[in-house]
Structure formats: structure tokens, C-alpha cells
RNA sequence: GGUGCCAUACCCAAGCGGUAAGGGAACGGUCUGCAAAACCGUGAUGCAUCGGUUCAAAUCCGAUUGGCACCUCCA
């Protein structure tokens, strides 16, 4: 099946054609590990996970590389930038390495909790300093860099296509729009950026390496260019990130990579939109942000959040609220209980046979292939579970088939195991049955209220009452 | 100033030229002692506004209004 994706380079939906027949090189910009990931960050990683699963589901062998930025990501890009990790380290009295390790572990925990498939390679910036130095040397040889004020800068005027990804018009760009960023007077062009620092107004950093230009540390953008080429080659298929990466980070990555190699670097640039809250973008620097752990502490399952994210297309902003998350939870629970019911009826996974089942599978696949249309894919799931044209076995089998992409852990759903109720609960339930038999409905309703207070809901079925925990 | 994203029923949300998916809420029904759950049914002659193109427009073009993001912190 042909997969179409929205390519930021060209601003259009394009048919995906990999460089190699069956293999896809996929680089995803990973986290900077100076703090916890918030649920907005995680939305982007879920989108990338869906992209990878869709490609895999379609038969591609996906080489997925994700970096861990543990050095060089500065609060600014001039000579006044403070390294984010160094900053956190100073504030907490810990070493930068300790900070990086701590938040890397926290990130991977969230990553797994959300059922994202691990990359083929995780690469840490600090493990690849020599690769970055080699890339800078290539740029230097090609005349794309200059030294000024102790730092090595990339000169964007040596790269004619600069800004193509973001359709930047150089003359109209404002510089240092943000209040906390000042103009770096060492730059020839205000849009030039540092590839290697040896001097910083913050002085001696914790993380420094020897280089041909002196002891120092790399700029932020250079790591992605260097590491992606190391693991995926000098040209590869897909590079992803959040929309915020388009005008600066990815623009600069392209400049470095293509200036060094003199050929096209990445074919498809795909960007995820932001998760918003009532007050706008969720921002780390504002201090207030929501983590996955906070949702878990509030009683949500990570799959509730994943389901919530899948409810909106990756290229539209979605607004997070607990009200909306509640609806997602309710919907997911409804789907899970439908699947449980199928299991209780003794279904097993079967090959899809009927025309109707195959049509649903096709509709699902088309939704995925159509620029990752997950809201549509979820609609197909609902239609499948509610259909009276496919058998229960097929419903179950289709749900598992869909879950290869959705990643909602349908394969882990088990038959409702008859939980051993505590004696108190058992007694109340028996008493209620007796009260009902004696037509003492007042007492029966009292017991229902008591059970409700204990957190259980009674459902009277033809087979007798069922007690289930309130969601 | 520049670059983008967006506006679809009470709410969330697909749709990308052929006559409006899906979910929630609401309402009606079946079931029930009553509920809950489940199941069945009901819902936009309409897609921010105004023009234009077309046999045909939510979909394309132009203008307007409103929301959001980015342009050296963040996905």
C-alpha cells in the first residue's frame, strides 16, 4: 500500500518512497535530559511511534535512531548561551552526568509506559564528540566556518539554500525577538550559529573536550547531523521532531549536513504539532508542566493518555484538559470491556476470512497510510467492534491487527478473572440478593449505596449480579 | 514585520472536488422492582463570513473575521 505523508520540505502530502527498497532510515530528535519530559513532549514521541509502527505494519524494516541530548543544548545560540544541563547541575549541586543519567532513565520509563517501541539505536551526544569534531572539520575544510571571539561559527551565507525548510526570508527575519536573548556581536550574520564553543561568558563548564579549536563543547545542532549520518548514512529517509524545530534546529541541521556532504541529506521532514493547555503551549521554562507520572498518580493509565493523543491528528494542535482525558479513558475502557467480553465468549485469534473483515482491515490500513489518520483508524475500530457483519473471532483478530499500529496493549487484555472478593463484600452481595428475593428493595438499594461508597458498582445481569470496581 | 497551523452539531474530532466518519453528552425505546451496564433508535439541507471557479465546493482560489504557534529555551 502506498503511504502518503506530509513533508514539511515542500509543504505538501507526498507519496513515501524510501531510498532502499525495503528499509527506512528514520531519525527522531530525542529529548534533552535536563528535566522530566512533559506530556506535550510525549505527544510528539507518540506520533513518531505511530509513524514507525505504520511503516513496520506496511512491511518496511525501520532503522529508528533517537538521540539523547546530554550536552550542548543551550538556553541561547550565541556566545551567551548557558548549557541546559550545566544549568540544572549548578542549581541542584549535582554533576551534569548525574542529571543526564537521572532524566534519561525517567524518559525511558515514560517511553515504555506509553508502549512505544524502542529505537534501533539510542545515541548520546557525549558519546559522539569525536564524530561532531570530524563533521566540523569537514565544514571548516569547505570554508563554511569561521572563528570569532573564541567560538567556531557556521556561516549561513556559504550555504545558499539556508532556510528552505522553514521558507525563511533572510531579510525579513527579526533577530533576538525574545527578551532574554541578546545579539551576538561576534557573528558575521546574525543567523550564524555556534558549532563549537571554547569561550562562554559562563566560564569553565563541567563538560569540556579537547578539539582543534581549543578545549570546549559542541553546539546543539551539530549532534543530530553527526549522529544521524553515522548511523543512517549521509542520506536517509525520514527526520522528525516538533514543529518548533523547523525554523532553527532543523534548518541549521540541514545547513551543516548538506554543506559538509554537498548533497541532499533527508528526503522527508515530518513534524508533530503541539499539545496545548488552556493557557497555551505547555512550557518547561514557565515551570508548570504535566508529566506522565502526574497522570498516573491521578489514577490514569498511560494508555488513557495514548488513546487521548490518538484522538487528534498529529498535525493539529490538541488541547489537553482533564475533562478530555476523562472522555478518552471512558472510551478506552469501553473498548477494553468489549474485547474482554469477546474473550469471555471464548474467541481465539483467527485468519481473516470474510469479505467484511478484510474490508475493515483494508479501511484501517488506508487510514494509516493516509498521512497517519489515527482518528479515522479509531473510527474503524469502533465500527468493527459494533459490526454485526463480522464474527466475534474476527472482531478480536481485527482488534489485535489494528493494535500493531495503535499500540494500546490489546494483546494484554485478559478474560476478567473472578477476583476473590473480600468476605465483607461477599456478605453484602449475598444480603442484597436475599433482600431482592424478599422484595425488600429499600434494603437492596441501601446495600447498593454502601457498595458504591466502597468503590464498587453492582450490575444485575441475567446470570446474577456482577461487582466491578468504579473507574 | 516574517513563517506556519487552525475555524465542521452542545463538546471532542475525521473529511482534502461527487453530495457530512467516529466518540462523548442529550433525548426516545428494549431490559430492570428501580437503577447501572448493554443493545436499538433520534441528531448538521449544514462545514467562521463574503465573493469567485466548477455540472458539482466543507474541500480549489481571493478577501475578511477570529484562535494558536514559531522566528536564538522547550516536542
The single-letter DSSP state of residue A47 is H
- Is beta strand A280-281 parallel, antiparallel or unpaired with respect to A121-124? unpaired
Residue A204 CA to residue A276 CA, distance in Å, equals: 38
Q: Answer whether residue A305 is part of any domain.
A: no
Q: Answer whether residue A106 is part of any domain.
A: yes
Of A272, A288, A305, which one is at a domain's C-terminal end? A272
Of A412, A432, A461, which one is at a domain's C-terminal end? A412
Spanning CA of A461 to C1' of B30, the rounded length in angstroms is 15
A409 touches strand B (CB under 7 A): no
Residues in a beta bridge with A13:
A6
**Nearest nucleotide from residue A177 CA, by C1' atom:** B71
Q: Answer whether residue A456 is part of any domain.
A: yes
The single-letter DSSP state of residue A247 is I
Please check whether residue A80 is in contact with residue A182, taking contact to mean a CB–CB distance below 8 angstroms: yes
Q: What pLDDT does residue A170 have?
A: 63
Among A417, A400, A418, CA closest to A409: A400
Q: What pLDDT does residue A201 have?
A: 56
Q: Are residues A340 and A448 in the same domain?
A: no
Q: Answer whether residue A161 is part of any domain.
A: yes
Q: Which of residues 175-234 of A touch strand B (CB under 7 A)?
A: 175-178, 180-181, 183-184, 187, 190-193, 220
Residue A252 CA to residue A193 CA, distance in Å, equals: 8
Q: Answer whether residue A293 is part of any domain.
A: no
Instruction: Kindly report the number of other CB atoms within 10 A of residue A396's CB atom.
Output: 24
H or E segment and range at residue A359:
helix A355-369
Q: Are residues A252 and A340 in the same domain?
A: no
What is the end-to-end Cα distance of chain A in Å, rounded? Answer: 40
Q: Are residues A404 and A434 in the same domain?
A: no
Q: Are residues A389 and A438 in the same domain?
A: no
Q: Answer whether residue A303 is part of any domain.
A: no
Q: Are residues A342 and A449 in the same domain?
A: no
Count, residues in chain A: 471
- Is beta strand A145-148 parallel, antiparallel or unpaired with respect to A151-154? antiparallel
- What's the CATH code of the domain at A154? 3.40.50.620
A199 phi, psi to nearest 5 deg: -125, 135
Q: Are residues A120 and A258 in the same domain?
A: yes
Q: Answer whether residue A184 is part of any domain.
A: yes
List per-residue pLDDT tens for chain A, 471 residues long.
Answer: 889 999 988 888 889 999 998 999 999 999 988 888 999 999 999 999 999 999 999 999 999 999 998 876 655 545 455 667 777 777 777 888 888 899 999 999 999 999 999 999 999 999 999 999 999 999 999 999 999 888 899 999 899 888 888 877 766 555 555 544 556 667 888 888 889 988 765 555 678 899 999 988 888 889 999 999 999 999 999 999 998 888 889 999 999 999 999 999 999 999 999 888 776 677 666 556 889 999 999 999 999 999 999 999 999 888 888 889 999 999 999 999 899 888 888 888 899 989 999 999 999 999 999 999 999 999 999 999 998 889 999 999 999 999 999 999 999 988 766 566 677 778 888 888 888 888 888 888 888 888 877 778 787 776 677 777 765
- pTM for the structure as a whole: 0.91
Q: Which of residues 291-330 of A touch strand B (CB under 7 A)?
A: 311-313, 315-319, 324, 327, 330
Q: Are residues A266 and A363 in the same domain?
A: no
Spanning CA of A228 to C1' of B6, the rounded length in angstroms is 33
Domain count, chain A: 3
User: Which domain range does residue A459 map to?
Assistant: 423-469
Residue A232 CA to residue A387 CA, distance in Å, equals: 44
**Nearest nucleotide from residue A242 CA, by C1' atom:** B75
A70 touches strand B (CB under 7 A): no
How does DSSP assign A274-308, residue by residue?
A: PEEETTEE--STTS----HHHHHHTT--HHHHHHH
Q: Are residues A428 and A406 in the same domain?
A: no
A11 CB-contact burial (10 Å; exposed 0-12 / middle 13-18 / buried 19+): exposed
Distance of CA A181 to the CA centre of its chain: 29
Please check whether residue A257 is in contact with residue A232, taking contact to mean a CB–CB distance below 8 angstroms: no
H or E segment and range at residue A384:
helix A374-386
Amino acid at each position: 500500500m502506498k503511504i502518503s505523508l506530509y513533508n514539511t520540505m515542500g509543504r505538501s502530502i507526498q507519496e513515501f518512497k524510501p531510498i532502499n527498497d525495503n528499509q527506512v532510515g528514520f531519525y527522531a530528535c530525542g529529548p534533552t535530559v535536563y528535566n522530566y519530559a512533559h506530556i506535550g513532549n510525549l505527544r510528539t514521541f507518540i506520533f513518531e511511534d505511530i509513524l514507525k509502527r505504520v511503516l513496520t505494519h506496511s512491511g518496511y524494516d525501520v532503522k529508528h535512531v533517537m538521540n539523547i541530548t546530554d550536552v550542548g543544548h543551550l538556553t541561547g545560540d550565541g556566545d551567551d548561551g548557558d548549557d541546559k544541563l550545566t544549568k540544572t547541575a549548578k542549581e541542584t549541586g549535582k554533576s551534569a552526568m548525574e542529571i543526564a543519567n537521572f532524566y534519561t532513565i525517567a524518559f525511558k520509563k515514560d517511553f515504555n509506559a506509553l508502549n512505544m517501541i524502542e529505537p534501533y539505536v539510542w545515541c548520546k551526544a557525549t558519546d559522539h564528540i569525536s564524530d561532531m569534531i570530524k563533521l566540523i572539520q569537514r565544514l571548516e575544510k569547505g570554508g563554511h566556518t569561521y572563528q570569532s571571539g573564541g567560538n567556531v561559527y557556521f556561516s549561513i551565507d556559504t550555504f545558499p539554500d539556508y532556510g528552505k525548510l522553514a521558507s525563511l526570508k533572510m531579510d525579513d527575519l527579526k533577530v533576538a525577538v525574545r527578551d532574554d536573548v541578546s545579539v551576538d556581536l561576534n557573528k558575521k550574520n546574525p543567523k550564524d550559529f555556534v558549532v563549537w564553543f571554547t569561550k562562554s561568558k559562563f566560564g569553565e563548564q563541567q563538560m569540556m573536550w579537547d578539539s582543534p579549536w581549543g578545549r570546549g563543547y559542541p553546539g546543539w545542532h551539530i549532534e543530530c547531523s553527526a549522529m544521524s549520518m553515522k548511523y543512517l548514512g549521509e542520506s536517509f529517509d525520514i527526520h522528525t521532531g516538533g514543529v518548533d524545530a523547523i525554523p532553527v534546529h532543523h534548518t541549521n541541521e540541514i545547513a551543516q549536513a548538506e554543506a559538509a556532504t554537498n548533497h541532499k541529506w533527508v528526503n522527508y521532514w515530518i513534524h508533530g504539532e503541539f499539545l496545548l493547555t488552556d493557557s497555551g503551549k505547555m512550557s518547561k521554562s514557565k515551570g508548570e508542566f504535566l508529566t506522565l507520572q502526574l497522570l498516573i498518580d491521578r489514577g490514569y493509565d498511560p494508555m488513557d493518555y495514548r488513546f487521548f493523543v490518538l484522538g487528534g491528528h498529529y498535525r493539529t494542535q490538541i488541547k489537553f484538559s482533564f475533562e478530555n482525558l476523562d472522555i478518552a479513558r471512558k472510551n478506552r475502557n469501553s473498548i477494553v470491556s468489549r474485547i474482554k467480553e469477546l474473550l469471555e465468549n471464548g474467541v481465539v485469534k483467527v485468519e481473516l476470512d470474510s469479505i467484511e473483515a478484510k474490508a475493515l482491515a483494508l479501511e484501517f490500513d488506508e487510514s494509516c497510510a493516509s498521512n497517519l489518520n489515527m482518528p479515522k483508524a479509531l473510527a474503524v475500530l469502533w465500527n468493527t467492534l459494533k459490526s454485526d457483519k463480522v464474527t466475534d473471532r474476527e472482531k478480536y483478530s481485527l482488534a489485535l491487527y489494528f493494535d500493531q499500529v495503535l499500540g494500546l496493549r490489546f494483546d494484554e487484555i485478559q478474560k476478567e478473572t473472578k477476583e476473590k472478593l473480600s468476605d465483607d463484600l461477599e456478605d453484602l452481595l449475598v444480603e442484597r440478593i436475599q433482600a431482592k428475593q424478599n422484595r425488600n428493595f429499600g434494603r437492596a438499594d441501601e446495600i447498593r449505596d454502601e457498595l458504591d461508597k466502597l468503590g464498587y458498582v453492582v450490575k444485575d445481569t441475567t446470570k446474577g449480579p456482577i461487582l466491578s470496581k468504579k473507574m
